[in-house]
Every structure is written in structure tokens, then in C-alpha cells.
Copies of this chain bind each other. A is one copy, B any other.
Amino acid sequence: MKIAQSLQQIQPSYIREILADAQAEGVISLAGGLPDGESFPMALMAQSLNNLAIRPELFQYGHTAGYGPLLDYFKQTYQQADNHSSVVCTGSQQGLDLIARAFLNPGDTVVMEAPSYLGALQVFGLAQANIESIEQRFDGPDLTQLEAKFATGNVVMFYAVPDFHNPTGVCWSLAVRQKVAQLCIQYGVTLIEDVPYRELRFNGNAQPLVSSFCKDNALVLRSFSKIATPGIRLGVVTGKTEWINPLIKVKQSSDLHSSVPMQAVLLDLLSHGQFNEHLETLRALYHTRYLTLAEQLNQKLPAGCKFNHVDGGMFIWLSLPACDTYKLAKAAIDNNVAVVPSAVFYRQGETIYPAVRLNFTNAAEAELETAVDRLVTAINKTLG
């Protein structure tokens, strides 16, 4: 059999591919978007996991939209309007895939900020969408470019990660949020608001969701990989029921439903009296690691390298003088530190700003110090 045309142009995930290398003995990985495994809330999930064996009803086929009590929890927690609802997904990655399959025809236009989340590029690529990129500024997307795209009348959706963007860490200002929402309403563009890192703010106050200003023009993707654990593969899409229903229809074909035992465990975790405490501990840990990485970079980086400070999330975006970032990433892994070159976050033909993405949530403080030493060696070697 020949590979389908829609798949031929899709690059396999560089990040997923190098995870194997990054896990090799002696390599410190700043490459993945992995949460800290030692901070998983196992203690808070233990009772729930232990109860699974006496809850056989959770092991039968379930409803495609999700486990009823979990859907009820979302309804209440997200204060959903009567005409809004949720569909539980096998990770928020599936939510994005369902959105693309339910609402995009080949050639339909999707706007994204560049650089972009690789998983979204893959999804929209598979859907054979026409991806239009706009530049990102320190406080969000370039609004002039965004409105110019919207004004063509051809844009179906705007995909955005407004809280601690992957890969850049940018968090949109309130003014940008309000303006983007207004533009979405004005031009009839649907906002796909992807917020996997939203709960990982360790500095400053939370901004309102962009979609809170355009509720009926948005679908929101939430992930439980960062605040619960990734291995359980659970996320949720919320929005107008008339848009959630087509997602449910695609999900019937895709996997019937997501794991019910895992949904029950997630509900128990989210409702646990100590869950907020767990989040506070996690944020404090990531804050410390971020400060360590930032300080190390400040101390050791050669001239011409710089990064913006972040108030949350998982990544530092380290801008570099002109260089081949793939070559740099190779030199880094040869020197036992894994990073992601900026090129993988851009589509072919786009202007690639030389940078590397550094994760600060998965390595301990002492490792971060060593990692920076190794990275600086690789940078010096590559820049020559």
C-alpha cells in the first residue's frame, strides 16, 4: 500500500523521535515537554487507583462524550452555560485532532503564531489545511498581521496557546486577549484556545481566558498531562454544544471513548481536598527550577544569546546568533544534553529565528547547572 497523500508531507515529531536519544544513559534532557515524574500526585491518586478493582462498572463500554460524573464536574467547575458542553479526549492532542477533522476541509485556512506547537502543525497538516502564520510579540500575536489575515474573510480558525506558549513561553497581556476576542467575533473566526500550561503560573496573577471574552466563538482545549499525569492521556474540549456534538461524532470513529477507569481516577484527583496544595507545590518546584536555569544561562551564555523571562509554563526560548540550530542540537546531544532546535517549530519556507527550546520542569537543579555547562560548550563549538 502507498501512504496517503495527506500523510506524505507530515514530518514525524522530531521531539518524539529524539526522546529515545534523550533518555540514553548520561544525557540530561531539556528537550521534551515532560512534567517532573517525581512530583506526580501518586499519593492523592492511591486510594482511587486501589478502588478500581472493586468498581467493575468502570471497565464496561462508556459514553463517547465522557464519564458522566466527570462531565458534571466540568459543567460546574467551568461554569458552563446551558448551551455549552464538554467532550473528554484521549489527551488534548486528540481534542485538537477532532476539531480539525470535524471542521476543516482541505485548503481551509487556519491562522497560527510562528513558531508553533509541533503537534498542532502535524494535526493541521494531516487535515491538509492552509496554515497562515503570523509573528508573535512579547505580549501575544502581532495584532495588525492577525487582523489582516482575518480581513481576507477566508480564515476558519485561529489556533493559539495564550498562556506560556509552546515553545516561546509568551503569555498574552489582557489587552491583547480582549482585542483578539473582539477580532474573532468581528470576523466570524473561531478561536481554538489551547491552555495546557495555564495552571503552571508561578508568578503574577492569572489572566482571564481569551475565550471568556468570546465564549460562543471559541473552543477551549484543556490538558491534564501537566497538572495530573500525562500517562493517563486525558484532556477535554469545551464550547458550544452545537460544536461539541460534531467532535463526539468524529470521536465515535476515532476510539469510541477514552479510558473510563482513568477518567474516574482523574475525577477523584481533581476533587481531592489536597489537589490545590499539590498544584502549589508543583508551581513552587517549577519556579525554583526556572530560576536556576535562568540564572545559569545569565551567568554562562556567550554574547549574542538571550531569552525572555517567563511567569510560568515549562519552557525557556533561548535566542541565538545566526546558526544552524539542527547542528547545534546535534552538538548538544553529542555533549550529553538534549534541546530542541527552533527549526522544528516552523513550517517549511518560513523565516526561522535561530533559537533552542529549553525545558526546565523535568531536570533537577544540579542537572540544570550541568546541562547549561554542556549546552554552552555546544553553542561555543557551533558558533565557532
Contact at A253–B59, with CB atoms within 8 Å?
Answer: no
The segment from A95-103, A287-295, A307-315, A338-346 that touches chain B is A95-103
Q: Is A49 an interface residue (CB 8 A)?
A: yes
Q: How far is the CA of A281 from the CA of B221 in the complex (A)?
A: 43
Q: Is A174 an interface residue (CB 8 A)?
A: no
Contact at A233–B250, with CB atoms within 8 Å?
Answer: no
Contact of A7 among B46, B249, B261 (CB under 8 A): B249
Contact of A101 among B42, B126, B258 (CB under 8 A): B126
Contact at B122–A252, with CB atoms within 8 Å?
Answer: yes
Least distance between A190 CB and chain B CB atoms (Å): 5
Contact of A37 among B38, B49, B59, B233 (CB under 8 A): B59
Q: How far is the CA of A233 from the CA of B262 in the complex (A)?
A: 10
Q: Is A32 an interface residue (CB 8 A)?
A: yes
Contact at A42–B60, with CB atoms within 8 Å?
Answer: no
Contact at A253–B123, with CB atoms within 8 Å?
Answer: yes
Complex interface bits, A197-237 against B, C-beta within 8 A gives 1, otherwise 0 = 00000000000000000000000000001000111110000
Query: Which B residues are in CB contact (< 8 Å) with A101?
Result: 4, 6-7, 126
Least distance between A267 CB and chain B CB atoms (Å): 14
Least distance between A339 CB and chain B CB atoms (Å): 17
Q: How far is the CA of A4 from the CA of B257 in the complex (A)?
A: 21
Contact at A253–B38, with CB atoms within 8 Å?
Answer: no
Q: Helix, strand, loop or mixed for chain A's interface?
A: helix
Contact at A42–B61, with CB atoms within 8 Å?
Answer: no
Contact at A246–B40, with CB atoms within 8 Å?
Answer: no
The segment from A8-16, A161-169, A320-328, A365-373 that touches chain B is A8-16
Q: Is A57 an interface residue (CB 8 A)?
A: yes
Least distance between A159 CB and chain B CB atoms (Å): 13
Complex interface bits, A250-287 against B, C-beta within 8 A gives 1, otherwise 0 = 10111111111110000000000000000000000000
Query: Which B residues are in CB contact (< 8 Å) with A54?
Result: 42
Q: How far is the CA of A126 from the CA of B243 in the complex (A)?
A: 17
- Which residue of chain B has its CB nearest to the CB of A45? B53
Contact at A61–B252, with CB atoms within 8 Å?
Answer: no
Q: Is A185 an interface residue (CB 8 A)?
A: no
Q: A1-B157, A49-B49, A261-B231 are in contact. Are A126 and B253 (CB under 8 A)?
A: yes
Query: Which B residues are in CB contact (< 8 Å) with A13?
Result: 252
Q: How far is the CA of A6 from the CA of B250 in the complex (A)?
A: 10
Point out which of A50, A229, A250, A255 has the most chain B C-beta atoms below 10 A from its C-beta. Answer: A255
A sample of 8 inter-chain contacts (CB < 8 A) reads A1-B243, A4-B103, A35-B60, A40-B56, A52-B52, A59-B231, A91-B255, A232-B259
Top 10 closest A-B pairs, CB basis? Answer: A59-B229, A46-B53, A59-B231, A231-B260, A90-B255, A94-B255, A122-B253, A61-B230, A49-B53, A49-B52
Q: List 18 additional contacts besides A7-B246, A119-B252; criterion CB under 8 Å.
A: A1-B243, A2-B103, A3-B103, A4-B101, A12-B249, A12-B252, A37-B59, A59-B229, A90-B254, A91-B256, A97-B253, A97-B254, A119-B253, A126-B253, A232-B261, A255-B255, A261-B262, A262-B262
